[in-house]
């Protein structure tokens, strides 16, 4: 994610958004909990002593209540009928196919607000309870470990945005004068559909949205069908690659759609709010070139399609929704397309680092934001050469050193300050320092190896360190300890 930060009286643009191998020389503090790829954590102490009750949280080290335990979501089908865009009143129906990872007499989904009308499990009516964001479902028959099951939740009402612990602005399903947009990192998905709302449990998606004319819908994945219902239109999208719930997006407005294909063959579709000046589109002119360049550095683009979505609303952020990054109108500057390209580069880099490879714990957010910040630097180097990269590194380093009290070390952000500028800029500098330490050949091999090894899954900082050590042949525990966890900023390698 890219946010607007007000820092020292200056607006600074910065990007907002497993099999664990722990090297012998890994950092000694803090020690994140090892996590297995795409497997929900076992019930924590917060769960009942009854082993058939799914935990009301995956046990995230910063946000233990996020997500749920006891099952692995395989796919979601979202069916949303928006009755009135101005009020956002809707009827929703979500079907989740999941596999039980333990015997389940009850389990939870995350859903904020709404009236839940009906719940079924494997076609049979199920009882349910509400407690804040927790929707507890009690199936008619206990689900056995290893069994696949289908949950259908029908709900209705007006979604309300939420104020996350991690951010200072509303997230989730948000209504504005010209339509609706969705910006859900880290926990806003629960404002519009029931899910296991943690990136550790990724799934495939079908997104079917009906809106009154003349409104249109932009969502993740491939638009497979558009159905004219007379006074309304139904848009059906499919996401075939695993996606974290917070990256799910549904946006409703009057759009101009521009399509193209990168030279390397990646389809691109950009949605621009039709009320925006066309000058905003200049920042996306080299999107295809950018996709192909990053594919050379990181490995093949991991999804079926890519594109940007620009809303005519200044919400102070951009977010790397999988296959369809969203940009507020105050994140792109028509009179400065070159600087705006860096925001585009940031969100595109996230498609590899954040979307394809997702964090297993939110504390490791630098694996998203530090990588995307360095993606900006790499695009600068591509356009203007090594001298501009060096200028970026020197300027960033001096700014961080002179104002170190404002920035947390990137490996240990606070729960109420997850997107501290340190995870962006110092996270990006950590990668640059690694590049200077191991050399270009090893560094870019590290990025490709990491992106491929954890593709469509989840990773931790320890996983990245293990790849870096394996590829480079160097012991890097002290290096990462100093750059990621120590308060004092270490010197840049020469």
User: pLDDT for 68-106, tens place per residue?
Assistant: 999 999 999 999 999 999 999 999 999 999 999 999 999
| Calpha distance 97→108 (Å, rounded) | 14
At residue 196's C-alpha, the angle toward residues 80 and 324, to 5°, is 55
What average pLDDT does range 419-438 have in this prediction? 97
- What rounded mean pLDDT belongs to the chain? 91
First to last CA, the chain: 31
CB atoms within 10 A of CB 280: 20
Tell me the per-residue pLDDT of 106-163, one tens digit each, with 9 for 90 and over.
Answer: 999 999 999 999 999 999 999 999 999 999 999 999 999 999 999 999 999 999 999 9
At residue 122's C-alpha, the angle toward residues 121 and 123, to 5°, is 90
| Calpha distance 383→75 (Å, rounded) | 40
2-37+356-485: CATH topology is Neutral Protease; domain 2 (1.10.390)
Taken in order 218, 219, 221, 227, is the CA torsion positive or negative?
A: negative
> Under 8 Å CB-to-CB from 38, ≥6 apart: which residues?
18, 72, 200, 201, 202, 242, 457, 458
| Calpha distance 19→167 (Å, rounded) | 30
- Name the nearest CA neighbour of 462 among 40, 15, 38, 36: 36
- How many Cα atoms sit within 13 Å of 61 on the Cβ side? 19
Q: Is the pLDDT of residue 479 over 80?
A: yes
Q: Is the pLDDT of residue 40 over 60?
A: no
Numbered ranges of CATH 2.60.40.1730 in the chain: 71-336
- Name the nearest CA neighbour of 287 among 250, 329, 342: 342
71-336: CATH topology is Immunoglobulin-like (2.60.40)
| Calpha distance 407→12 (Å, rounded) | 14
| Calpha distance 395→345 (Å, rounded) | 19
- Name the nearest CA neighbour of 105 among 43, 198, 36, 40: 43
Numbered ranges of CATH 1.10.390.10 in the chain: 2-37+356-485
- Between the alpha carbon of residue 218 and those of residues 149, 251, 371, 399, the distances in Å are 30, 5, 27, 39
Tell me the per-residue pLDDT of 192-241, one tens digit each, with 9 for 90 and over.
Answer: 999 999 999 999 999 999 999 999 999 999 999 999 999 999 999 999 99
Question: How far is CA 443 from its chain centroid?
Answer: 24
Q: Is the pLDDT of residue 17 over 80?
A: no
φ and ψ of 356, to 5 deg: -70, -55
Q: Cis omega (within 30 of 0) on the bond before 186?
A: yes
Q: Residue 49: what pLDDT?
A: 55
Of 5-19, 207-221, 284-298, the least confident? 5-19
Confidence class of residue 337 from pLDDT cuts 50, 70 and 90?
confident
- Do 7 and 406 form a contact (C-beta atoms < 8 A)? yes
């Amino acid at each position: 994610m890219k946010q607007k930060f007000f820092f020292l009286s200056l607006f600074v643009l910065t990007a907002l958004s497993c099999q664990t191998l722990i090297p012998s020389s890994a950092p000694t503090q803090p020690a994140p909990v090892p996590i297995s790829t795409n497997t929900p954590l076992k019930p924590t102490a917060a769960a009942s002593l009854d082993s058939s009750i799914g935990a009301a949280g995956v046990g995230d080290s910063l946000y233990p209540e996020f997500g749920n335990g006891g099952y692995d979501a395989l796919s979601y089908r979202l069916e949303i009928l928006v009755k009135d865009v101005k009020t956002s009143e809707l009827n929703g129906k979500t079907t989740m196919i999941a596999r039980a990872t333990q015997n389940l007499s009850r389990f939870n989904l995350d859903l904020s607000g709404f009236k839940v009308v009906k719940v079924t499990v494997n076609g049979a009516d199920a009882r349910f309870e509400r407690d804040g964001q927790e929707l507890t479902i009690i199936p008619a028959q206990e689900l056995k470990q290893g069994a696949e099951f289908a949950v259908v939740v029908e709900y209705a009402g007006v979604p309300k945005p939420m104020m996350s612990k991690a951010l200072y602005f509303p997230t989730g399903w948000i209504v504005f004068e010209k339509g609706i947009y969705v910006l859900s990192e880290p926990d806003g998905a629960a404002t519009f559909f029931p899910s296991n709302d943690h990136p550790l449990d990724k799934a495939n998606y079908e997104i079917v949205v009906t809106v009154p004319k003349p409104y249109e819908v932009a969502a993740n994945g491939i638009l497979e069908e558009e159905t004219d219902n007379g006074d309304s239109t139904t848009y059906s999208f499919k996401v075939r690659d695993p996606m974290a719930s917070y990256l799910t997006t549904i946006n409703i407005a009057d759009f101009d759609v521009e399509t193209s294909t990168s030279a390397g063959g990646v389809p691109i579709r950009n949605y621009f709010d039709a009320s925006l000046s066309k000058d905003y589109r200049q920042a996306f002119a080299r999107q295809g070139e950018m996709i192909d360049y990053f594919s050379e550095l990181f490995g093949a683009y991991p999804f079926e399609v890519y594109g940007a979505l620009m809303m005519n609303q200044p919400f102070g952020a951009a977010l790397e929704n999988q296959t369809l990054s969203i940009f507020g109108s105050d994140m792109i500057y028509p009179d400065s397309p070159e600087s705006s390209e860096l925001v585009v580069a940031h969100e595109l880099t996230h498609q590899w680092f954040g979307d394809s490879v997702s964090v297993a714990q939110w504390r490791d957010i630098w694996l998203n934001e530090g990588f995307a910040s360095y993606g900006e630097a790499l695009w600068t180097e591509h356009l203007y050469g090594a001298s501009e990269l060096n200028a970026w590194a020197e300027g960033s380093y001096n700014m961080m050193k002179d104002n170190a009290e404002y920035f947390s070390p990137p490996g240990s952000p606070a729960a109420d300050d997850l997107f501290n500028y340190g995870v962006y800029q110092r996270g990006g500098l950590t990668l640059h320092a690694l590049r200077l330490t191991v050399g270009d050949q090893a560094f870019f091999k590290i990025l490709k190896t990491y992106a491929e090894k954890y593709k469509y899954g989840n990773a931790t900082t320890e996983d990245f360190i293990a790849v870096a050590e394996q590829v480079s042949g160097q012991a890097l525990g002290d290096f990462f300890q100093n750059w990621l966890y120590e308060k004092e900023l270490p010197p840049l390698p020469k």
